[in-house]
Structure 1
Amino acid sequence: MDFGFASCCLFLFVVLVLQCGYGISASMAINQQGADTSQKNPMINKDDIKPYYNVWFTPKDLYKGFTMPIYFAKSDPSNSPHFLTREESESIPFSISKLDNLLSLFSIPKETPQAKAITYTLNNCDEEVEGHHICVSSLESMLDLVQKTFGSSTKFDLFTSITYPSQNSPILQNYTFLKVPQQFQVQKMMACHPMPYPYAVFYCHGHLDGSTRVFKIPLKGANGDKVDAIAVCHSHTSNWDEDHISFKILNMKPRSGPVCHIIPHNNFVWLPLVSGQ
């Protein structure tokens, strides 16, 4: 495999990656988090196109030589939140109803960007969503969720986009697909996205009906940077908000067709293990 990791080494890899820099601490500015906490959904802001929205494309673009601007954030591992153990995370309330207590616990004043980040995360994680959608705050909980989603006897792999930036790499530049994107031949997938919080919290959601396809794509930037990218294509967007930023970026009519996006290097895709892939 080019950038998958065998299940026998999975736990060690997860620990190294998740503890070495993937998200943004709640002590950092909101603008650095790639999340617009003034809105319920950070991807709904059709009138304010931010640089980190440059990850979207369409299935017709899945060919060698396609070029598009892509944003790959730079992260400092020393500023990234770490996972707590399951016991530690379960000992701390995780609910918007406990917001005042949590702000006091984290020594974060009200009405600060950090407080808004925590409120944003708790509101989103408290929301009940049908299916395999949940926030996890420990590595054990994430692995349990993936195993439950795929089946108790299923082995699985972890994937993310891997960047090889040069010293002066711009975070937004044109990238070209060096090869025809290779699709993973699986029906199920689980994506996990970091949420702004003082310790590591991920919002994970499963796609189990084969309508979401996953690809690996080698990229080369205009600056010469290389990326082993993971991309996801969503076949069904009819239930997405009509103001979803992807429709604006792609100049599409709302809910009019499938869309794809590059997975940022601080996000993760879990796939059932398929022999030879």
Structure 2
Amino acid sequence: MDQIRLLCLFSIFYVASVVVGIGYANGADDGKFRMSYWNTAFPKSPLPSKAVQQLLNLAGETSNTGFGKQALNLAPEIPINSYGSSKEETPAEPDLTTFFQGQDLQQKGKTVTLRLLKPTSNKATLLSRQVAKSIPFSSSKLPEILTYFGVKPNSLAAGLMKQTIEECEAPAIKREGKYCLTSLESLIDFTVSNLGKDVGVYTTEAETDKKQEYSIETTGVQSIGDKIIVCHKENYVYGVFYCHIFYDRTTKAYMVPLVSADGATKAKAVAVCHMDTASWNPKNVAFRVLNKKPGNTVHVCHFLGTTSLLWVPM
């Protein structure tokens, strides 16, 4: 019985692989579909920046690295999306500015140290809805998933995949809705259902991926809004966006201009500030970094990475 079940599973995966292969072989047609779906969903919204288009692969560019274990980034960015997590995660590079407080955005001369990776650091491509639905995505199916993608159970890659699925399955914290979306259509539909058809979408953009000290240009800090959806691109064998929406509007977003000490390097970073952290797990790494405890007046801010998106109604 187990052999029959496994054979059926592999049959599904084979069909999915064929469909994905057709999509890659006809990148132009895939691009037309993606652009058409975007324009239909957001008829009042201009096309997003080139960085966002690249992240969503709106052009449908042919890729050999966006699907399968070769799409995994074995040195992922620091996970900052699990606000209710009980894990006390340790930043990979302790001298980076992982968290800060809201008043820092208005403090003249405030400096931050960031490593803003290239968007291509996460090569995983969003699948079509039809293909994404045909592939299991759950902890209970992890052994079969690893077998199909040729990932050894005790490897680093398997651990990253397991972590992504577990984060997606974890319950949302109070006043938050969270969803993991695995196709361009589902990502767009989720945004439309929550924000409408007139939206703006932002991501952090940088000129270099080297660790850099930046000064915040406080006079240029721009408030984006407090009705937002934040989507983090997860580390997985195909495109997965962990999206959450904050229903009480106590989370505010800003576009922050940054400039290096010598003025030679600039960046535009999306900052998200959580104005009420009372429902967060006390063991969250943010409180250790800031030497604070959860509270409705304790603000925790962080910059979004270059593989995250922020959506707001226009």
Q: Taking structure 1 as the reference length, what is the TM-score of the superposition?
A: 0.80
| Structure 2 unaligned regions, length at least 5 | 1-43
Indicate the residue corresponding to 2:55 in structure 1. 17
Alignment of 1:87-98 (within 5 A): 87-98=130-141
Indicate the residue corresponding to 2:177 in structure 1. 132
Q: State whether residues 64 and 178 of structure 1, in contact with CA within 8 Å, keep that contact through their aligned partners in structure 2.
A: no
TM-aligned CA distance change 1:239 to 1:79, over 3 Å: closer
Q: State whether residues 125 and 203 of structure 1, in contact with CA within 8 Å, keep that contact through their aligned partners in structure 2.
A: yes
Indicate the residue corresponding to 1:259 in structure 2. 300
Moved more, 203-212 or 52-61: 52-61
CA–CA separation in structure 1 for the residues paired with 2:167 and 2:204: 25
TM-aligned CA distance change 1:221 to 1:264, over 3 Å: same
CA–CA separation in structure 2 for the residues paired with 1:76 and 1:12: 11
Q: CA deviation at 1:50?
A: 2.7
Residue in structure 2 matching 1:144, options 177, 184, 189: 189
Are 2:231 and 1:231 equivalent residues in the alignment? no
The number of aligned residues is: 256
Q: Whose relative contact order is higher, 1 or 2, with alpha carbons under 8 Å and at least 6 apart?
A: 1
Are 2:260 and 1:221 equivalent residues in the alignment? yes
Higher helix share: 2
Q: State whether residues 250 and 274 of structure 2, in contact with CA within 8 Å, keep that contact through their aligned partners in structure 1.
A: yes
Please give the root-mean-square deviation of Cα atoms over the aligned residues, in Å. Answer: 3.1
SS in 1 for 2:286: helix
TM-aligned CA distance change 1:29 to 1:82, over 3 Å: closer
Q: CA deviation at 1:79?
A: 6.1
Q: CA deviation at 1:126?
A: 2.2
Q: CA deviation at 1:217?
A: 1.1
Q: CA deviation at 1:14?
A: 4.5
Are 2:67 and 1:67 equivalent residues in the alignment? no
TM-aligned CA distance change 1:163 to 1:80, over 3 Å: same
Q: Which amino acid aligns with 2:188?
A: L
SS in 1 for 2:47: helix
Q: Which amino acid aligns with 2:142?
A: L
Indicate the residue corresponding to 1:50 in structure 2. 92
Q: CA deviation at 1:201?
A: 0.5
Asked which structure has the greater CA Rg, the reply is 2
Q: State whether residues 25 and 79 of structure 1, in contact with CA within 8 Å, keep that contact through their aligned partners in structure 2.
A: no
TM-aligned CA distance change 1:146 to 1:11, over 3 Å: farther
Alignment of 1:54-203 (within 5 A): 54-63=97-106, 65-75=108-118, 77=120, 80-129=123-172, 131-151=176-196, 154-165=197-208, 170-171=210-211, 173-180=212-219, 181-184=221-224, 186-203=225-242
TM-aligned CA distance change 1:163 to 1:11, over 3 Å: closer
Q: Which amino acid aligns with 2:110?
A: T
| Structure 1 unaligned regions, length at least 5 | 1-5
CA–CA separation in structure 1 for the residues paired with 2:158 and 2:279: 31
Q: State whether residues 229 and 246 of structure 2, in contact with CA within 8 Å, keep that contact through their aligned partners in structure 1.
A: yes
Q: Taking structure 2 as the reference length, what is the TM-score of the superposition?
A: 0.72
SS in 2 for 1:8: coil
Q: CA deviation at 1:72?
A: 2.5
Indicate the residue corresponding to 1:3 in structure 2. none
Q: Which amino acid aligns with 1:115?
A: A
- Cα deviation, 1:111-160, whole Å, max 9, x if unaligned, reads 00011111111112123437531000111111111111124xx4111101
